[in-house]
Structure 1
Amino acid sequence: MSSSRTVTVLGFGNIARDLVPALLSNGAGLLILSHDASKLKGVPLGVATAMADYTNEKQLEGLFKAHKVEAVVSTASGSDEFFRYTQVGIARAAKESGVQLFVTNEFGVANDGHDPKSVFGAKSEAAARISKEVGLPTARVFNGLFIEWIPIVTAYASKPGAFVVAGKGDTKASFTAIADIAGFVAHIVTAAPLSEISNRIFLIEGQVATFNEIAQILGREVTYTALEEIADPISRLLQRGVEEGWMRTGAGPGYPPSSSKEIERRSSS
């Protein structure tokens, strides 16, 4: 596959380290931006990089124009305020420079319908503002839980032999590998006409399983506990999402209540 499209990737963390090679394989021109030079270590030779102040819209606009960027993929992370305000400012700069598509950093659970004050709400608000207020088309990718996070969420990465589950552990959730997410994003931003992926939500699912099924595959004995007993706030939040059923890509709270059959269809279609 070959593409003459130029793409900017914001940040060079977990997703970007798989996304950048995938974009290169698809023939895309690349510009990687970071606010921290140390984060750019390991960027493939020949790929353009630049330090950027994400709050300096004029600087960003100049960089986008200089590299004739057509699509921006945000993998940069930060606080709720970063998603709610800074990312929208980056999109404004992109719009002014002629960028045609902004892939928001929402990789994970569907964000619409959550508490507006939560990080999910911040991401959802940002996507809406970029599309409607800024006027820059967005593409949003929801994939459930990263497979790579299972050891952290269930505590066996930090406690040898442990596999901690809040609740009963028999609710199905979506799990997707970061490499698969990166490959999908690279494909849609290089192979498809941007008009066909503009203002669309993509639901992807690498594997569907319960925590009990995963423990069986790994040969781990499950320790069941109350949600409140999980000390790490991120693990507690994700465990809650799995147990309550909204960690399935087709069952985000932004969707109207629907049958398990409909959730299954949306998640795996």
Structure 2
Amino acid sequence: MSAYKSFAVVGGGRVGLPVAAGLAAKNVSVIILSRSSTKTPPSGVQLVQVDTSDTAAVTAVLKEHKVDVVISTVDVGGGEWDVVQKPVVDAAKTAAVKLYIPGEFGVPTDGHTVGMLGSKNKFAQYVKHIGVPYLRIHNGGFIEFVPFFKGPDGKIPAIGKGETPISLTSVPDIAGERGFLVHVLTTLPPSELENRTLRIEGERVTLNEIARKLKTTLNHVESVEGQEFLTYMLKIFEYGGGSSGWDEVNKREGSEGAASGNALWPGHHWKTIEEALNL
């Protein structure tokens, strides 16, 4: 059983709020660190206003609340991992936090050197370098983002054939009250979580299969005009990097497998695209 009793969530968005709510439902101490005091936290969760770029201030909060686990749900953004996440993990180090979960929540980042995934990888390597125990979660894409794949013509853009498998996982399966993250943090011992990368997958599909599920077709393109990030991700999807089990260093599916982490939650039903999007 988990020895973690106190949690701090950084960020109150799509992943942060449901994780905080889910943990609070397990009768553990949960705070949300936010620069703004206007957010309404879930029931049982305390909102702590703090400048998350101020390492000393964050350290004081973590010590005051005797935080065991820090969960960052803040995206690295435009490559500024040193501005967005470094102050918080430095504070976690000083406050002797037992586990730090970086804001990856997506496709694997190891081996990437450019773009958003390169920034996430640089930060993950920094966490390892300073010796803070970490847990990384790779879930592929969010199913809830699938409708936004559509272009103005209603078709799904694809760079290449669109036949390479992609891992997709629903947000509630990752971060909800009965989500994977809450489950492992409140049921597993630290020895099964520290310095590990857990790969989960709700559904494994190709872009062609996604198009069929959304009752449309693919639009084969070389790039998506005005959408550099989508173009960047479509290129990654085409060569296999959209799988949560992808090994970017060796450019192949890794030995752990895309759904290897699913085994830590026996009996759980992972939502399909149809179920998550009510198709």
TM range (shorter): 0.7 to 0.9
Deviations 1:106-139 (A, max 9, x none): 1101111112x42212211211212222x21110
CA shift in 2, pair 1:36/1:228, >3 Å:
same
Identity of aligned residues (%): 30
The aligned amino acid for 2:257 is R
Aligned to 1:124: 121
Aligned to 2:15: 15
**Cα contact 1:250–1:266 (8 A) shared by 2:** yes
Q: For residues 78 and 96 of structure 1, what CA distance do their matches in structure 2 show?
A: 21
**Cα contact 1:23–1:186 (8 A) shared by 2:** yes
Equivalent residue runs for 1:16-165 within 5 Å: 16-38=16-38, 40-41=39-40, 43-115=41-113, 117-133=114-130, 135-155=131-151, 159=152, 161-165=154-158
Whether 1:225 aligns to 2:216 is no
Answer with 174-183 or 189-198: which moved more: 189-198
The TM-score, its normalising length taken from structure 2, stands at 0.84
Structure 1: 5+ residue runs without aligned partners?
Answer: none
CA shift in 2, pair 1:2/1:100, >3 Å:
closer
Quote the offset at 1:257 in angstroms: 4.3
Quote the offset at 1:48 in angstroms: 0.8
Quote the offset at 1:84 in angstroms: 3.3
Q: For residues 29 and 96 of structure 1, what CA distance do their matches in structure 2 show?
A: 20
* Structure with greater proportional helix content: 1
Quote the offset at 1:71 in angstroms: 0.2
Quote the offset at 1:214 in angstroms: 1.6
Quote the offset at 1:161 in angstroms: 3.6
State the secondary structure of the residue aligned to 1:249.
Answer: coil
Corresponding residue pairs, total: 257
CA shift in 2, pair 1:266/1:202, >3 Å:
same
Q: How large is the RMSD of aligned CA atoms in angstroms?
A: 2.2
Structure 2: 5+ residue runs without aligned partners?
Answer: 261-279
**Cα contact 1:114–1:120 (8 A) shared by 2:** yes
**Cα contact 1:167–1:224 (8 A) shared by 2:** no
Quote the offset at 1:160 in angstroms: 6.8
Deviations 1:202-240 (A, max 9, x none): 1111100011112212222x1423232443122222222
The TM-score, its normalising length taken from structure 1, stands at 0.87
Q: For residues 142 and 32 of structure 2, what CA distance do their matches in structure 1 show?
A: 23
**Cα contact 2:21–2:45 (8 A) shared by 1:** no
Decide which of 252, 257, 268 is 2:259's aligned counterpart.
268
**Cα contact 2:31–2:45 (8 A) shared by 1:** yes
Whether 1:201 aligns to 2:194 is no
Q: For residues 91 and 7 of structure 2, what CA distance do their matches in structure 1 show?
A: 15
State the secondary structure of the residue aligned to 1:266.
Answer: coil
Aligned to 2:266: none
**Cα contact 1:5–1:28 (8 A) shared by 2:** yes
State the secondary structure of the residue aligned to 1:140.
Answer: strand
Q: For residues 230 and 3 of structure 1, what CA distance do their matches in structure 2 show?
A: 49
Q: For residues 238 and 213 of structure 1, what CA distance do their matches in structure 2 show?
A: 17
Q: For residues 144 and 49 of structure 2, what CA distance do their matches in structure 1 show?
A: 28
State the secondary structure of the residue aligned to 2:47.
Answer: strand
The aligned amino acid for 1:16 is G
State the secondary structure of the residue aligned to 1:267.
Answer: coil
**Cα contact 1:109–1:252 (8 A) shared by 2:** no
The aligned amino acid for 1:44 is P
Equivalent residue runs for 1:173-188 within 5 Å: 173-182=166-175, 183-188=179-184
The aligned amino acid for 2:22 is A
The aligned amino acid for 1:170 is E
Quote the offset at 1:78 in angstroms: 4.3
**Cα contact 2:138–2:200 (8 A) shared by 1:** yes
CA shift in 2, pair 1:4/1:85, >3 Å:
closer
The aligned amino acid for 2:111 is G
CA shift in 2, pair 1:32/1:58, >3 Å:
same
